[in-house]
Chains A and B, each alone.
Chain A
Amino acid sequence: METIKKVFNKSSILVPAIAILLGLMVGAIAMLAGGYNPLLAYSSLLDKLFSSPYNMGEAIRAITPLIFTGIAVAFAFRTGLFNIGVEGQFVMGMTGATIIGVTLDLPWYIHAPLAVITGALFGGLWAAIAGVLKATRGVNEVISSIMLNWIALFLSNYIVATYLVEKGQQKTRPVHESAMLTIDWLIELMDKARMHWGTFVALICIAVFYILLWRTKQGFELRAVGHNPDAAQYAGMNVNRTIVKSMFISGVFAGLGGVFEILGVFGYQTVMAASWGYGFDGIAVALLGGNTPVGVLLGAILFGGLNYGSTGMSFGAGVPSEVVRIVIGSVIFFVASHGLVKWFIKPFFIKRADKRKEAV
């Protein structure tokens, strides 16, 4: 009985593990239905991920922004807010970093930190708009941040196209070397994979996420408001200020994600037709990780790894890489519907329990 109880406990590790297995199975079924070989596909996915230092490095590069956006979403979730605007905050972070990186000329020890802080503030303040609208005017943060996503996209396109582009091109002048945050020796080591300091900052942010929420008085307030705003209000907490604060912090995480894509990876920004989707993927990562610090890290690794490996799949087995989205969608689906997963595995456990009874 004890084992069954453990399995049925939501926080147990088994449900996500089974969800991942089921997700991979759904992907396999989709591939079989499409006339592809799922085993070949999955093995070429793993091949792609681990075949060379370059690919491993690039996989880490792909995982890094997902950690940032995952934390951003998870942080807001913990405080009772659904920050669907991470996408826009990410874009604002990129833009802030690009403005400083392209236009100013400073020694590196000022230039790089300034660019990082500016981008983070851009993201944070952009999110705070949604927070203020919710706190003062009662505007649902989901709808306001969807609007802000689009405004961020067009605003940053305007800034890039009007002030920062190289003549006749769709991309900005390159960010000055003094603001770049690439790690040159690691790039050499990883065979030219684009390694940068953002990965380490992302890991630090996970720690910050944990300490801020679970080890400080402010974090207690943030979580209390998330659990029950009325009770928090009654206990004397300023709910409105907490909402704005929470959105700001969430936006800072998102903005940092954007910052490092510019300063660590690309070194320029383009006029975008649509945003990159890291923000929306961040929602998936946060959900995969159950909004916990370690969970977000693992979720980002799974999501980013599958995503990066999927190109190997289409190359090695001819499978359209979108099958990975089906797998990821299914995994989150099964994590969310843990009732369904339990229903799936129930028969096995009941049988085993019966056998045990017989044995006794």
Chain B
Amino acid sequence: MNVLEVIGQLINVTLVFSTALIFTALGGMYSERSGVVNIGLEGLMVSGAFAAAVMTDYASQAGLAASAPWVGFMAAAIYGVLVALLHAVSTITFRADQTVVGVVINIFALGLAIYLTKSLYEGSGQTPQLAYVFDKWAIPVLKDIPLLGKAFFTAYPTTYIVIAIAVISYFVLFRTPFGLRLRAVGEHPSSADTVGISVTKYRYIGVLLSGALAGLGGATITLTTTSSFAHNTISGQGFIALAALIFGKWNPLGVVGAALFFGLAQALRNFAQLFEFSKQIPVEFFYMLPYVLTLIVLAGAVGRSNAPSALGQPYDPAKR
């Protein structure tokens, strides 16, 4: 293998690992930009991964063949919204502590997913291997560009979708009235309320969007990487997405950058096994690499946290 080929491969694998993280972190961004902390991303991802596996399985049994994964993909978004609704009702309407509810979502969603899996598949804690999952799409013409073609234009459909969503999110957040209002609600809810913006409505939208996107993130892992759902399908990816959100400073493009960085670190550890010189380094150090780098970058980053200023505070109009 020549160097260019390796780099092309590395980029390709990085994109696979990053896609789910970008979905989820973007979801978290909508929620947190509206002022609602979302520690529950992990649980929402688990929910999405579970729904995608089950619905894809049912759809393939119903004879949908190659379009079955798309059914699962959509189902993941819907199920994610339902779980996020729990978060929204308690934190926005009943002003419960957002961090606490996020933790609850994590416990509850995993419990429910495994419970349902065992109920649906006669006691087995894992869904069967899916007959149909997403295949990589090679984009005609572009795929033949040397290096770039292999690296960027032979990817899972989810990767193309998430990049589109990231770009759209940037415009929505910074170039549309909706985005302005969403940010206003997260920065200064009482002012937003004064000028007639419904804090409740925008926060609901933010949290439900996070459910849909994190659900898609979970579905991405099921439908491109594991091909089934079990208790360890997600194991911590949601927390890494949360880190990517903070690392990316709550900005869609920053979030994409941070998620790509985590994806690259994960890809590197797979590649480390291929070369003599890197085999000498204990594998655990490669596992640690992304997390150590993040700490170093965060510690060295200039400027303190750029979190939305009303993040984590329930909005109580009576206290205006």
The interface of chain A, by Cβ under 8 A from chain B, is 30, 34-35, 82, 84, 133, 137-140, 142-144, 146-148, 150-151, 154-155, 157-158, 161-162, 273-274, 280, 283-284, 287, 318, 320, 322-326, 328-330, 332-333, 336-340, 343
Contact = CB atoms under 8 A, between A and B. Distances in A.
A332 B104 contact: yes
A155 B284 CA distance: 7
A139 B249 CA distance: 12
Given A143-B246, A274-B232, A332-B107, A82 B294 contact: no
Contacts of A151: 288, 291-292, 295
Given A137-B299, A139-B298, A325 B96 contact: no
A318 B110 CA distance: 19
A154 B101 contact: no
A154 B100 contact: no
B94 A325 contact: no
A264 to B, nearest CB: 26
B86 interface: yes
B313 interface: no
Question: On chain B, which size bracket covers the interface?
Answer: 35 or more
7 contacts: A133-B295, A138-B305, A140-B305, A143-B294, A328-B111, A333-B90, A340-B89
Given A158-B285, A322-B111, A336 B101 contact: yes
A283 B103 contact: yes
Contact of A287 (B103, B111, B298): B103
Interface of B: 39, 86, 89-90, 94-97, 99-101, 103-108, 110-112, 114-116, 118-119, 123, 125, 232, 235-236, 239-240, 242-243, 246-247, 282, 284-285, 287-288, 291-292, 294-295, 298-301, 304-305, 307
Contacts of A330: 108
B104 A325 contact: no
A318 B122 CA distance: 10
Contact of A150 (B105, B106, B285, B288): B288
A34 B118 CA distance: 10
Among B111, B123, B242, B304: residue with most chain A CB under 10 A: B111
Contacts of A133: 295, 298-299
Contact of A322 (B100, B115, B236, B282): B115
A200 B232 CA distance: 34
A323 B288 contact: no
A137 B299 CA distance: 6
A337 B94 contact: yes
A343 B94 CA distance: 9
A162 B215 CA distance: 39
A43 B111 CA distance: 20
Contacts of B294: 143, 147
Among A30, A138, A273, A329: residue with most chain B CB under 10 A: A329
Given A283-B103, A336-B96, 20 more contacts: A30-B115, A34-B119, A35-B119, A143-B243, A143-B298, A146-B240, A154-B285, A154-B288, A158-B282, A274-B232, A284-B107, A322-B110, A322-B111, A325-B108, A325-B110, A325-B115, A329-B111, A332-B104, A333-B86, A336-B100
Contacts of B101: 333, 336-337
Nearest to A274: B235
Contacts of B232: 273-274
A326 B291 contact: no
Among A147, A151, A284: residue with most chain B CB under 10 A: A147
A227 to B, nearest CB: 15
Contacts of A147: 243, 291-292, 294-295
Contacts of A283: 103
A279 to B, nearest CB: 12
